[in-house]
Structure 1
Amino acid sequence: MKEAPIALTPIVLGIDDLRLLPGATRIARTSSEGIQLLEEHRDSFIDELWLDHDLGGDDTIMPVVTLMEEAAFNGRPFQIGVVFVHSANPVGAETVVRSLARWSYRVQRAMPRESGRLS
């Protein structure tokens, strides 16, 4: 008799200073917390990564993007199913999308809703 395969919980990470991100299994609120979160999942497959550009004050997602770019440059990109960029900052969001797409991350834009939940 074969055992049923174990259903694994998808890893959904979010880096956002304010939004609830109800589907996320873990959320970082600053870029430094985001870097730590990605490093903790360095050897795991991340099903979804949700990124906001503006993280409060002078903090942005760009240090996280730089980490991801450097990993790809070094031949060891993070293993991520889809990166969703959900920033209300259109210029910042487009910068993130272009930067990550250049390094072959599967990335797309998602639009935030007023309620703090994502569409």
Structure 2
Amino acid sequence: MNDSKPRRIVLVDDLRSFADGRSAEVARSSAAGVALLERHRDERLDELWLDHDLGDADTIWPVVEVLERAAFDGRPFDIGVIHVHSANPTGAGKMVQALQRWGYRVRIASGSAAVGYLDE
């Protein structure tokens, strides 16, 4: 009998999706990413996938700031692992540093085959 809960995965990326079609909630902007985090505030996220550059002048920093503020307030989000999959090495490095500073488990996943540009 398999009564395990489905994994709760959030992807914040303006263009890419999961190549294997795994079930995930997707946000295409920082504002949508913040809204998704807030919607899951008191739930466990198994994985959070973050891209740095989100199109035009939008970046992931509003999402990172929500995570930082929650940790600063003593109520960090319950996230199994945060995957930083940005192709922007400088931005990715700053994201990892900021999130690890607040105790989040972060993995650099730049170049990961898990996310890619899919034909719609």
Aligned to 1:83, the other structure's residue is in SS state strand
Which residue does 1:35 correspond to in 2?
Answer: 34
Which residue does 2:15 correspond to in 1?
Answer: 18
- Residue by residue over 1:66-99, the C-alpha shift from the partner in whole angstroms, topping out at 9 and shown as x without a partner, is 0000000000000000000000000000000000
Aligned 1:54-93 pairs, distance under 5 A: 54-93=53-92
Confirm or deny: 8 A CA contact 1:13 1:26 kept in the other structure.
Answer: yes
Q: Which amino acid aligns with 2:100?
A: A
Distance 1:57 1:38 in 2: 22
Which residue does 1:48 correspond to in 2?
Answer: 47
Distance 2:75 2:101 in 1: 15
Aligned to 2:116, the other structure's residue is in SS state coil
Alignment of 1:116 with 2:113, yes or no, is no
Confirm or deny: 8 A CA contact 2:87 2:110 kept in the other structure.
Answer: yes
Distance 1:30 1:52 in 2: 10
Shift in Å, 1:6: 2.3
* TM-align CA RMSD: 1.7
Confirm or deny: 8 A CA contact 1:17 1:56 kept in the other structure.
Answer: yes
Shift in Å, 1:112: 2.6
Q: Which deviates the most, 24-33 or 86-95? A: 24-33
Shift in Å, 1:5: 6.1
Gaps of 5+ in 2: none
The structure with higher relative contact order (CA 8 Å, sep 6+) is: 2
Distance 1:83 1:46 in 2: 9
Aligned to 1:43, the other structure's residue is in SS state coil
Q: Which amino acid aligns with 2:11?
A: G
Identity of aligned residues (%): 51
Confirm or deny: 8 A CA contact 1:53 1:92 kept in the other structure.
Answer: yes
Larger radius of gyration: 1
Confirm or deny: 8 A CA contact 2:30 2:58 kept in the other structure.
Answer: yes
